[in-house]
Every structure is written in C-alpha cells, then in structure tokens.
Chains A and B, each alone.
Chain A
Amino acid sequence: MNLLESVRVALEGIMASKLRSFLTTLGIVIGIAAVIAVVAIGQGGRAVLMSEMEKIGTNIFAIYVDWRSEKPLTGREFDLSDVAVIKDMVPGITHLSPHNQIMWDIRGSKEKIRARITGVSSDYAYIRKFNLKEGRFFTEEDDAGKRRVAVLDEELAKQVFGRSQALGSKVTLGDTPFLVTGIIARGESALGFSETPGVYIPIEVWQVMFNGQVQMLEGSAVSKDKVDEVTGQAVKILERRHRDSGKYASESMEQQMQAANKITGIMTMVIGAIAGISLFVGGIGVMNIMLVSVTERTREIGIRMALGARRRDILTQFLIEAVILCLLGGVIGMALGAGGACLIAGLANWPPLVSWWTALLAFAFSASIGMIFGILPANKASRLNPIEALRRD
C-alpha cells in the first residue's frame, strides 16, 4: 500500500469525525503549546538577561575578601597602593579602582534620605561606562587632592534636589558638604533592574569620613577572554604583597553570565519537562482512541485483508493515522504556543524567541509520539483474523 493512499485514507477518517479527532489530539495540542511557549519565553528571557549584562560590560571583574575563608580578618586586606601596583604589573587590566560602600544620610536642597555612598577612584567611571547626563565624573586631580566632590545618579539627584538644579549645588553627606560635579544618566533596563540610588565620592575622602579600609577592588580587562587571566595575576600580587594566601576571591561578569545562563537553562528545562509530561498523557489519549477506532473498524480491516492487504499494510495505515493525528495536534499546538509566548512576552516586555529548532523538535516529537503510541493499536489491527474481522458488524 503506498504512503500517499494511507495518508489520504487517514485524512478522510480524521475529516469524517472532526470533533472526535480534535479531542483525541487535544492532549498533544496542549502539550506542544506548553513546551513551545515555555521554551520561547525562557529563551527570550535569557537573551534579555544576557544583553542586560553585556550592557554593563562583559570584561569587568571584582576582587574581594573571600567570605568562605576562615582566616582572621585584619581590615588591611587591601590598601590604596595595591591598585597602582597591580595596574602597573598587569598590563591586561585597563582600569582598576578601589570600591568602598556604606549607607549614609545625604541631604540636598529638598530632602534628606539614606543612600549608598560609594568611594571609588576616577577609573571607576570607565569601568562601569558611566554616561554623564550633566557635568563630569571626578578626575585623578580630585582623587589626589582629596576634594569633596560628589557625583549623583539621576534618581538620587531627583530625590534630594527635586526640580531644583543639582549640578553645582551643595550636598551634605552626614555633616560634610560636597560639591555636585556630575549627574549619571539612568540606564534603560528592559528587565527593570534598578540599583539603590547612590552617590560616588573620591575614595580617599571616603576613607577620611568613615574608615581607612579598602573593601574591594573593581576593574576591567582589555577583553572578556582576558578576565580570568588578569584577575588570577592580580590575586597573586595581592597574596604576595600581603603575605596572605587563600583569602582573596574574584568574580567576573563573564562568570555571572555563565551562571545566569545555566540557571535560566535549567529552569527552562524543568518547566519544559513538566510540559513534556502532558505530551506523554496526550499520547496515551491518542492510543486510547486509536484502540477504539481499531475495534470500530474491524470490518474495514477484514475487507482490506480480503482485498489483499498484508498485515504490514494494515499496520502502516493505522500508524500513519496516529502520526497524522499527532502531527495535526503538533501544528495547532505550535501555533497556539508561539501565540501564547508572544502574548506573555509582550506583557512582560521582552521578545519571545521561537527558534526554528524548537519548532522542528516539537514537530519531530509529536510525530514520534504518534509512532510510539500508535504502534500498539496498529499492531492490534494488523493481527486480526480476516475471517473473524469480516464477520464483525
């Protein structure tokens, strides 16, 4: 029996009872739709996350005291001279800045709020690729002169100054007045990430105001491939200078991206697997109805056998019918899933990614469900005794 004729007979059978065929394959429709939607949303989410992180910079890193280390802390794990030495000795590091943070009161012309006060060097603007809305970031001269200058981010400036002019005004940290020299433009974030509003001041001023420690170092490498290498070198230098090994740890954006990638991948897989279970259930539904169909069509099978159908012909005919049912379900499910993904992603404001391989996989998957769950009914049909089958009403 040729394939085309089997397909034709199967389609006629499906069209003859449209509602029943649709209900039979509904499990497949829902399963495929769920898998497609979940994978599309997951992929889209991951892509957005990655682009966010890339915007921040894939070549940046931080070196800090390893909290897992059980060695006693001295408070002198870093000092300012480390920065210059490391920059000098590791050519792969383009910028390096000390990085101290504390929550403190800040008062502008309008309001006093608690904010993040960060002490950094002038390099920091290059590491984080700050985009200045007004004014400038502080310079090496500001660093060296321990000038009381502050750079506010847009959000904080709005909070403490309201509508009045922030640039050039005085802002008070604790009791110390600072001159506002720059406003950092707020970055656009599709995911809606927002850091707590903050103000940046020269590190040495920060040390005078709070304490003499350096909490951690932040830097950027010439490229993202060099990050691991240069952080390794920097850590070695620190261990040598402070005669203190096993205390320093580093982290790079690259590592974080890989971790995020892995997490989103695992989540997509887990949810996809749950959706896959519904496909399995759908397959059982198809098998069930196909078994009923074999019983109902016993006489047809008997007639076909009398006309010369071999057992193999009957087997393929029913198998093809199951596969076509599942493929129809798969196609409908794919459309629904892609539509659903677009809808949800539209609400969440990130682009869904329905990749061609997901579609292909879903197609192949629904076909194989048809095969797997169709084989039992098809086999049952092909094993009928023609005489008994012909006698059946």
Chain B
Amino acid sequence: MIKVRNLGKVYRAGAHPVVALEGVDLEVRPGEFVAIMGPSGSGKSTLMNLLGCLDIPTSGTYHLDGVEVSGMGDTELARLRNRKIGFVFQTFNLLPRMNALRNVEQPMIYAGVAPRERAGRAAAALTRVGLGDRMQHRPSELSGGQVQRVSIARALVNNPAVILADEPTGNLDTRSGGEIMALFQELNSGGTTIVLVTHEREIALHSTRIVHFRDGRLTGDEPVENPRDAGKYLSIEPPADLSRGCAPGGGADAL
C-alpha cells in the first residue's frame, strides 16, 4: 500500500539547510493499522506531509497504492490526495459554514461525483460513523468527538487507499478520544488501512504496529501483540449510536 525507500526531506531555511527526514524505509501493507510515534521535531509531521502528498521529498522514492509519487506535479498530487488519501487532523479542519453532510460531500465534488450520488454517499458515510441524525448540524453545533467523526466520514467517503490521522485525539477528552480510536479499530477490522501519528503511547497501543521516529530517522518498528480494545469507551455511548456506528460492517455495504 505504502512503500517508502530512503526517503529524505531537506528544507532550505536561510543559509543552513535543515534535514527534517533522512533515509526512511517503511512499508505499510493493506489493512494495517500503524502508529507513528516520536517527540516533536522527530520528523513525524514531515513524514505525514510526504505520505499525504502535500509535499514532495528531496530524496528517495514513495509508492502509494502502486503509483510512484515522487516527481509528480501539483495537479497530479491533488488528484492523489483526493482519491487515495483520507486526512483526519488534530484540529478537525471542517468548513465551519457548512453542515456535516456538505462537509463530507466536499472530497466528492473534487472527484467529480454527481450531486445526487454525492448526497447519498455522504449520508451513508455519516451513518457509518454514527452521525446519521446529525447531518444537518454545523461543526459549531457538534461536540468535539462528533466533529472528529464527521471528519473521519469525510476521509472515508472517496474510499481512499489509506487514512492518515495526525494526532486525531489530541484535542479531545479521554472518552471522546477513546470513541475515535474505537471507530478507527472498527474501520481497520473492516479492512481500512490506517496510519496514525501520535506522541501518546496509550493511543498508539490501539494500533497493530508502532513505528518510532527520532531526529528525522526511523529508530524502531515494533508489532503490538495485543492491541488495546477501545470498545469499552463505546459501552457508555447511547445504545442507538452503538448499533448504528459500530455494528460490525454496519454501513460498509452502502459505501
């Protein structure tokens, strides 16, 4: 799914070039749930930008879903972001003026999906993340956890090859964060590939594999033998949401 060879990124800031990332080799197979850990300045954000096709590497190669990304132009990168990647941000990054449904529709607009199909798919994605009854709400009318679930629905809606989540629980309380992790685990068990950046080991332990970064280099790669189950956070959720959002495979057929 993701194959990175000798990846490097050097920023030219002023007279001295800054090496943000150097010699990274990483492979993420389809269906994996990988957590990337490291302190700030370790290069994990730079890696996410490169994996997310928001930036191009200064050295090395990057294959995403079998396509060589390094050396692509702006337009091709935009297309890749649209079709192959679903972003989930720490700060949610929804469009504040639009309701949940239209926020989820946005990636499909750039993909050229017809309006009627757009609305149907967006509604299905929102139902899948347990927000079937909040579609007309604007981000300001939703809780933090709900907003993040909207953004996960948005990330899913174009059926991307991988979901890139950058500190998705960073702005949430423990319970809401747990719900988000439960949702990720549920999606992953349905076959969705997820790459998650975090600096909290507690969060990382929900994944199936942890990759460590320090000073722009990959310093460790450990499998998680018994991933924590975030399902316990769902038990305090209202049962209606539980059945809609988290029943195995629920809504997946609609997508």
B residues less than 8 Å from A305 (CB atoms): 54, 78, 81
Given the known interface contacts A2-B109, A306-B87, the answer about A13 and B78 at a Cβ–Cβ threshold of 8 Å is no
1/0 per position for A303-324, CB-CB distance to B under 8 A? 1111111111100000000000
1/0 per position for B68-100, CB-CB distance to A under 8 A? 000000110011011100010100011101100
* Contact present for B107 and A307 (CB under 8 Å): yes
* Contact present for B110 and A309 (CB under 8 Å): yes
From A4, which residue of chain B is reached at the shortest CB distance?
Answer: B115
From B96, which residue of chain A is reached at the shortest CB distance?
Answer: A300
What is the bound-complex CA distance between A303 and B107, given in angstroms? 10
Chain B CB count within 10 A is highest, among A13, A308, A309, A386, for A308
Given the known interface contacts A308-B83, A309-B110, the answer about A390 and B74 at a Cβ–Cβ threshold of 8 Å is no
B-side interface mostly: helix
Q: Does B38 contact A (CB under 8 A)?
A: no
- In whole Å, how far is B65's beta carbon from the nearest beta carbon of chain A? 15
- In whole Å, how far is B58's beta carbon from the nearest beta carbon of chain A? 14
13 pairs of residues in contact across A and B, judged by CB atoms under 8 Å: A5-B109, A303-B93, A306-B52, A306-B54, A308-B111, A308-B158, A310-B75, A310-B78, A310-B110, A311-B75, A386-B54, A387-B49, A387-B54
- In whole Å, how far is B181's beta carbon from the nearest beta carbon of chain A? 22
Given the known interface contacts A2-B112, A308-B111, A387-B54, the answer about A299 and B93 at a Cβ–Cβ threshold of 8 Å is yes
Q: Among B49, B75, B110, B115, point to the contact of A307 (Cβ < 8 A).
A: B110
B interface with A by C-beta (< 8 Å)? 49, 52, 54-55, 74-75, 78-79, 81-83, 87, 89, 93-95, 97-98, 106-107, 109-112, 115, 154, 158
* Contact present for A310 and B74 (CB under 8 Å): yes
Given the known interface contacts A2-B112, A390-B93, the answer about A308 and B49 at a Cβ–Cβ threshold of 8 Å is no
* Contact present for B81 and A311 (CB under 8 Å): no
What is the bound-complex CA distance between A390 and B93, given in angstroms? 8
A residues less than 8 Å from B158 (CB atoms): 308
* Contact present for B74 and A1 (CB under 8 Å): no
Chain B CB count within 10 A is highest, among A13, A303, A387, for A303
List A1-45 residues whose CB lies under 8 Å from chain B.
1-2, 4-5, 12-13, 16
From A310, which residue of chain B is reached at the shortest CB distance?
Answer: B78
Q: Among A1, A4, A13, A302, point to the contact of B110 (Cβ < 8 A).
A: A1
A residues less than 8 Å from B112 (CB atoms): 2
Q: Among A4, A304, A390, point to the contact of B106 (Cβ < 8 A).
A: A304
A-side interface mostly: helix
Q: Sorted from nearest, which 7 A-B pairs have the closest CB atoms? A: A308-B82, A308-B110, A310-B78, A307-B107, A303-B93, A308-B81, A386-B54
Given the known interface contacts A307-B110, A308-B107, A312-B75, the answer about A387 and B97 at a Cβ–Cβ threshold of 8 Å is no
B residues less than 8 Å from A304 (CB atoms): 106, 110
B residues less than 8 Å from A308 (CB atoms): 78-79, 81-83, 107, 110-111, 158
What is the bound-complex CA distance between A143 and B197, given in angstroms? 114
From A309, which residue of chain B is reached at the shortest CB distance?
Answer: B110
What is the bound-complex CA distance between A16 and B95, given in angstroms? 13
1/0 per position for A293-304, CB-CB distance to B under 8 A? 000000110111
* Contact present for A387 and B55 (CB under 8 Å): yes
A residues less than 8 Å from B110 (CB atoms): 1, 304, 307-310, 313
A residues less than 8 Å from B115 (CB atoms): 4
- In whole Å, how far is B90's beta carbon from the nearest beta carbon of chain A? 11
- In whole Å, how far is B89's beta carbon from the nearest beta carbon of chain A? 7
* Contact present for A311 and B78 (CB under 8 Å): yes
* Contact present for B78 and A309 (CB under 8 Å): yes
* Contact present for B97 and A16 (CB under 8 Å): yes
1/0 per position for A268-305, CB-CB distance to B under 8 A? 00000000000000000000000000000001101111
* Contact present for A306 and B81 (CB under 8 Å): yes
What is the bound-complex CA distance between A297 and B97, given in angstroms? 12
- In whole Å, how far is A293's beta carbon from the nearest beta carbon of chain B? 13
From B118, which residue of chain A is reached at the shortest CB distance?
Answer: A5
What is the bound-complex CA distance between A307 and B49, given in angstroms? 13
What is the bound-complex CA distance between A308 and B115, given in angstroms? 17
What is the bound-complex CA distance between A390 and B115, given in angstroms? 27
1/0 per position for A378-393, CB-CB distance to B under 8 A? 0000000011001000
* Contact present for A13 and B97 (CB under 8 Å): yes
From A386, which residue of chain B is reached at the shortest CB distance?
Answer: B54
* Contact present for A307 and B81 (CB under 8 Å): yes
What is the bound-complex CA distance between A300 and B107, given in angstroms? 13
What is the bound-complex CA distance between A16 and B140, given in angstroms? 15
What is the bound-complex CA distance between A149 and B76, given in angstroms? 98
Given the known interface contacts A1-B110, A2-B112, A386-B54, the answer about A307 and B82 at a Cβ–Cβ threshold of 8 Å is yes
A residues less than 8 Å from B87 (CB atoms): 306-307
- In whole Å, how far is B48's beta carbon from the nearest beta carbon of chain A? 10
What is the bound-complex CA distance between A302 and B94, given in angstroms? 11
A residues less than 8 Å from B93 (CB atoms): 299, 302-303, 306, 390
Q: Among B79, B82, B89, B98, point to the contact of A390 (Cβ < 8 A).
A: B89
- In whole Å, how far is B219's beta carbon from the nearest beta carbon of chain A? 24
List A175-219 residues whose CB lies under 8 Å from chain B.
none
* Contact present for B95 and A303 (CB under 8 Å): yes
From B157, which residue of chain A is reached at the shortest CB distance?
Answer: A307
- In whole Å, how far is B101's beta carbon from the nearest beta carbon of chain A? 13
